[in-house]
Amino acid sequence: MEKWIEKVELLTLEAIHFFKFKSVLSLEELLSRAENKHYSTFSLYSEAELDKALKSFKQNIKNNFADTERVQWTDENVMIFFIKEQSILYMVQNRCFI
């Protein structure tokens, strides 16, 4: 990723921070979030694809969590900080140089 960023003019990578937080919701709350496209990736699914994925998701939760009223997981996120370099503008005899 750093090599990709180096190719972008006027952007400098300042920092990358990884963070986690624990979450707990019921299976019904999770399904409601998915049905209402709480996460933007759900908007990429057709209605048929979303229905199929939700059925599979529901069964997966039932198979892997003893208490479907308190499904617990850890969200992992990354925050990337950039600095946009400022252009310096010079005016010399009606000519503009950046």
22: containing domain: 2-97
CA angle 38, 44, 49 (to 5 degrees): 95
pLDDT tens digits for 26-79? 999 999 998 888 877 888 989 999 999 999 999 999 999 999 999 999 989 988
Helices (H) and strands (E) in the chain, counts: 3, 4
pLDDT tens digits for 24-34? 999 999 999 98
| Distance from C-alpha of 98 to C-alpha of 88, rounded to nearest angstrom | 6
The answer to whether 61 and 27 have CB atoms below 8 angstroms apart is yes
pTM of the entire predicted model: 0.63
Number of folded domains in the chain? 1
